[in-house]
Every structure is written in C-alpha cells, then in structure tokens.
C-alpha cells in the first residue's frame, strides 16, 4: 500500500506509527483468516477490502470530500446512518479493535479503562487512523460513562457532537431520543450544506435497509448445519459493514449469499455437520479484534450468530418505510434505533429474550458471553444473561478480555473445556 504514502502524509498521519500498524495487520490476517479451510469464493472481495483498509476506501473518502462531500465518524450503532447519507454524507464507524495507540491514550485516560475507548483515543492522539483524519465531524453518545467522559477529552482534539442516548425505553425516553435525532438531522444539514428532503431520506432509508437485509440473509444462511460460512468470516463482513460503500457492500454480500445458497443445497459447509454450535454475545468486536472468535473456531466449535453491535444488533431491525412526511420519517428512524438492546439500558430484558430465541432459532448448543475488560455495563449484565440462560438450561461461558494476546492460552483452555461439554 506504499503508493498511498502521499495521501497519508496529506492527512497528517504519523507515518512511523502508521507503518507499525500496517505491519501488524497482514500477518494476523493471514494466520486468522487465510488459513481457514473451505472458505467461500465470495470472500475474495472482503479480503480485498481488508487489504486496502487504509488505501482504496480512504482514497474514495478523499475523492468524496474533493467533490464537496462530508465524512461523519461515529462510535456507536446509535448514530443514524440514513440521515448522514440522505444529506449526501458518508458515515463511517471509528471504533477500533487494536491497542496500538495505547501509550498515547494513557496520557489522557486512566490505564484501567475499556480497550475500545483507549483504542479510539489512541488512534486520534497518535494520528494513526486515516478514517479519523478524514472526518469533518465526529459523533459521540452518552451510552456508557467511559465513552461519555472520554468524548469531553476527545473534544480537545476534534469537535465532537454528542447525542444524548437514553438509559431507559419509556415514552419520555423515546421523546428525548426523537429530539436528539431531529437535532442531529439539523446539524448534518448544516455540516453538509444540504437540506434533507422526503425523497432523499426515503431513498437513504431504503438503501440502508437494503444493507441490513443482505446481512440478515447471510445470518439466516448460518442457521443451516453444516454452517456454510465461519463465524470469523461473518464477523469480518459485519465489521466491514461499518465503513464500506453501502451499495457496493450490499451487492457483494448478496452475491456471497447466492453462493452460500448453493452450498446449503449441496450440503457443503466450512465445518463438518454436527460441529458444536455457539452464539457469542457481549461487547462489540471492532476490526481487527478477532481474538475470541479465532480461539472458539480453532477449538472445535462454529459460531453461528453474534448477538453484538458488530452483529445482529446492527442489522436485525429496519427503519419502517411507510412514512410520507419528514417528521414521521424521523420518528421511524428514532424508533428503529431504540430497538437496539445495548447493556446501557435498564432494564435490558429484550437482550435476554432475544438470546434465548436465537439459541432456539440457530439450534445453538451454548453461548459465550464476551465482555471487554473494564466494561461495567456488559460485565454486570452478564449476571442477568446467566440467570435467564440457566432457567432455560442453556450452557454459558463468561469471558472478560482485552485486545492484548497475553491471556490467549488461558482463554483457549477454558473455551476448549466449555466446547467439550456441549
Ligand atoms: S449500542 S454496545 S456500540 S454503546 S465496551 S465503550 S459499553 S465500556 S461499545 Fe456500544 Fe453503542 Fe452499546 Fe453497541 Fe463502554 Fe463497554 Fe467499552 Fe462499549
């Protein structure tokens, strides 16, 4: 990717630190992804996207900006992508799954904080993320305390608009959230210089729903035994969904699903039929955090679904397409997002109910709850998950881990023992 040096320099990246990041990715990707057996051919596109993660897509963002377009970065699946798109902007996910900027981040954050927060702060402070440096505006939210307070600090380095996400889902919370969505729509109009119209918003809602539908189609195919695609590859696609071009991505996921349809018909899978089936649930796994899924799928199980924000929570609910007026459309957008079962809500019973349903729908043998270290909402909610799954006699393994590899051996032993008893 050396021919992009000029572009990276013009974005103000710290070239030395950025080189270190680029050197870390390919060997990991090779070992985790390219060594998997029976990978479908349609994954070539997604391999290409990872290969070009700081190249071609960044070039596209720069071209978009040169043509007067804006890029808006987000840290949470609560930020309504369809509004950004309707105003001619591009919305990209900025969460990161690698601890390369940790030393910089620790200058402004405590050491013992969620690695996801440390990672995005480190990326900004160390100037190693071309996505961050391409953003005209970044959007935070008041989900967990760590993120909420980190955005105050991040605002010293880049202007951050914070959306107030409620902590409950009552009528008054829905009203608050709708107001936040309306404010966001106004801000996006100001930033992009484009007014939202009912036509542009309706089109954008349809397109983003199209992306969600393609991802749902992929998820449905994973209900088959043998599973036609690995959990690792599915996670990769779900991670890429956060920053790739919406239409191209949707087309490529559908093409892959056509191929998988055929594999299902002929009974071909990536693991033998009867392989123990696992659902992972917990905190998001931002690219390139593949640690636990890799350990699971090299320990004799296949992951059949991710009850994660880099998974089903991102695409299982659609925005209703029935509204004709702008206000009603924004209401539909707001309502869709409050359907996300994030652990910052209290109570969050919808997540437990959904998990039990998923175990039945996907014929799963067990659940692995994976929380990032120092993430209170998910680590504490693991207790509620455990209680409900116990009542339903569903085996559960609880893991807390960060982005480093130090505990990989110990985790593998626990995961193997869990899979053994399924
Ligand atoms: S909707 S899960 S993307 S907030 S892991 S930073 S909660 S301490 S990421 Fe999330 Fe939106 Fe919820 Fe989804 Fe805090 Fe926990 Fe870290 Fe987290």
Q: What is the mean pLDDT of each run of 10 residues along the chain (422 residues)?
A: 87 94 89 96 97 96 98 98 98 93 95 97 96 97 98 96 98 98 98 98 98 98 98 98 98 98 98 98 97 98 98 98 94 97 98 98 98 98 98 98 96 98 96
Task: Please state the atom number of ligand 1 nearest to the C-alpha of residue 75.
Answer: 3
Strand-pair partners of 369? 281, 398
Question: SS3 for 334?
Answer: helix
What's the 284 CA to ligand 1 centre distance in angstroms?
7
d(Cα 208, Cα 190) in Å, to the nearest integer? Answer: 22
For residue 1, give both structure tokens: 């990717």
d(Cα 269, Cα 23) in Å, to the nearest integer? Answer: 32
Nearest CA to ligand 1 atom 12: 342
Strands 90-93 and 160-163: what pairing?
unpaired
- Residue-level pLDDT at 324: 87
For residue 257, give both structure tokens: 């699903």
Task: Please state the atom number of ligand 1 nearest to the C-alpha of residue 340.
Answer: 1
Nearest CA to ligand 1 atom 1: 342
- Residue-level pLDDT at 95: 86
CA 235 to chain centre: 9
What's the 258 CA to ligand 1 centre distance in angstroms?
33
- Residue-level pLDDT at 1: 58
Task: Please state the atom number of ligand 1 nearest to the C-alpha of residue 374.
Answer: 8
All residues at 6 or more sequence positions from 410 whose CB lies less than 8 Å from its CB, including other chains: none
Nearest CA to ligand 1 atom 7: 144
- Residue-level pLDDT at 94: 95
What's the 368 CA to ligand 1 centre distance in angstroms?
18
Max CA distance (Å), the chain: 58
Q: Which residues of 57-78 are buried (b: 16+ CB within 10 A; e: fewer)?
A: bbebbbebeeeebbbbbbbbbb
- Residue-level pLDDT at 166: 98
Nearest CA to ligand 1 atom 13: 309
All residues at 6 or more sequence positions from 344 whose CB lies less than 8 Å from its CB, including other chains: 143, 144, 165, 167, 377
Report the pocket of ligand 1 as residue ranges, CB < 6 Å: 76-78, 114, 116-117, 143-144, 146-147, 283-284, 309, 340, 342, 344, 372, 375, 377-378
Question: SS3 for 256?
Answer: helix
Contact 276, 362 (CB under 8 A): no
What's the 234 CA to ligand 1 centre distance in angstroms?
20
Contact 395, 422 (CB under 8 A): yes
Peptide bond into 288 cis (omega under 30): yes
Nearest CA to ligand 1 atom 3: 76
Nearest CA to ligand 1 atom 4: 143
CA 77 to chain centre: 7
Helices 376-391 and 349-361: crossing angle in degrees, nearest 10, is 50
For residue 91, give both structure tokens: 């919305």
Asked whether the CA dihedral 71, 77, 78, 80 is positive or negative, the reply is positive
Cα separations in angstroms, 270 against 113, 228, 266, 292: 37, 6, 13, 18
d(Cα 218, Cα 260) in Å, to the nearest integer? Answer: 8
Nearest CA to ligand 1 atom 11: 76
- 91, 338, 375, 382, best to mutate for ligand 1 pocket (most atoms within 8 Å of CB): 375
Strands 137-141 and 90-93: what pairing?
unpaired
For residue 135, give both structure tokens: 């953003």
What's the 283 CA to ligand 1 centre distance in angstroms?
6
Angle at 230 between CA 378 and CA 371, to 5 degrees: 10
All residues at 6 or more sequence positions from 375 whose CB lies less than 8 Å from its CB, including other chains: 114, 116, 144, 146, 283, 400
- Residue-level pLDDT at 109: 98
Nearest CA to ligand 1 atom 8: 375
What's the 92 CA to ligand 1 centre distance in angstroms?
16
Q: What are the helix (H) ranges across 127-230?
A: 130-134, 145-154, 171-192, 198-221
- Element (DSSP H or E) covering residue 74: strand 71-74
| DSSP summary character for residue 372 | E
Asked whether the CA dihedral 40, 44, 50, 51 is positive or negative, the reply is positive
- pTM value > 0.90: yes
Nearest CA to ligand 1 atom 15: 375
CA atoms within 13 A on the CB side of 388: 17
Contact 112, 136 (CB under 8 A): no
- Residue-level pLDDT at 26: 85
The residue among 257, 373, 239, 371 whose CA lies nearest residue 314 is 239
Helices 246-265 and 44-51: crossing angle in degrees, nearest 10, is 140
- Residue-level pLDDT at 2: 55
Task: Please state the atom number of ligand 1 nearest to the C-alpha of residue 144.
Answer: 14
Task: Please state the atom number of ligand 1 nearest to the C-alpha of residue 344.
Answer: 12
């Amino acid at each position: 990717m050396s021919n992009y040096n000029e572009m990276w320099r013009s974005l103000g990246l710290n070239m030395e630190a950025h080189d270190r990041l680029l050197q870390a990715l390919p060997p990991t990707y090779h070992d985790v992804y390219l060594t998997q057996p029976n990978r479908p051919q349609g994954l070539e596109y997604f391999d290409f996207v990872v290969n070009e993660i700081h190249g071609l897509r960044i070039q596209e963002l720069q071209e978009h900006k040169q043509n007067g377009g804006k890029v808006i970065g987000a840290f949470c699946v609560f930020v309504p992508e369809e509004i950004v798109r309707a105003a001619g902007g591009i919305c990209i996910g900025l969460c990161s799954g690698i601890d390369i900027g940790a030393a910089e981040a620790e200058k402004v954050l405590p050491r013992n904080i969620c690695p996801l927060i440390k990672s995005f702060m480190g990326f900004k402070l160390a100037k190693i993320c071309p996505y961050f440096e391409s953003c005209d505006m970044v959007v935070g939210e008041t989900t967990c305390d760590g993120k909420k307070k980190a955005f105050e600090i991040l605002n010293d380095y880049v202007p951050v608009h914070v959306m107030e996400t409620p902590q409950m889902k009552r009528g008054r919370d829905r009203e608050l959230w709708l107001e936040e969505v309306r404010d966001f729509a106004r801000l996006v109009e100001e930033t992009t210089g484009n007014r939202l119209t009912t036509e542009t918003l309706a089109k954008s809602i349809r397109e983003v729903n199209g992306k969600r539908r393609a991802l749902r189609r992929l998820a449905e195919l994973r209900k088959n035994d043998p599973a036609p695609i690995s959990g690792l590859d599915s996670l990769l696609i779900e991670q890429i969904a956060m920053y790739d071009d919406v239409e191209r991505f949707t087309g490529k996921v559908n093409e892959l699903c056509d191929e998988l349809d055929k594999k299902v018909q002929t009974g071909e899978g990536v693991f033998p039929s009867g392989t123990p089936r696992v659902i992972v649930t917990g905190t998001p796994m931002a690219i390139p955090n593949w640690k636990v899924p890799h350990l699971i799928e090299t320990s004799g199980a296949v992951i059949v679904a991710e009850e994660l924000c880099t998974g089903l929570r991102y695409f299982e609910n659609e925005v209703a397409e029935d509204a004709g007026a702008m206000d009603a459309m924004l209401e539909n957008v707001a309502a869709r997002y409050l359907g996300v079962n994030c652990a910052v809500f209290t109570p969050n019973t919808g997540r437990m109910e959904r998990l039990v349903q998923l175990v039945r729908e996907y014929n799963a043998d067990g659940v692995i709850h994976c929380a990032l270290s120092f993430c209170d909402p998910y680590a504490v909610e693991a207790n509620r998950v455990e209680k409900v799954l116990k009542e339903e006699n569903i085996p559960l393994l609880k893991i807390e881990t960060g982005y480093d590899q130090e505990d990989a051996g110990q985790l593998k032993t626990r995961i193997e023992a869990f899979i053994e008893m399924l």
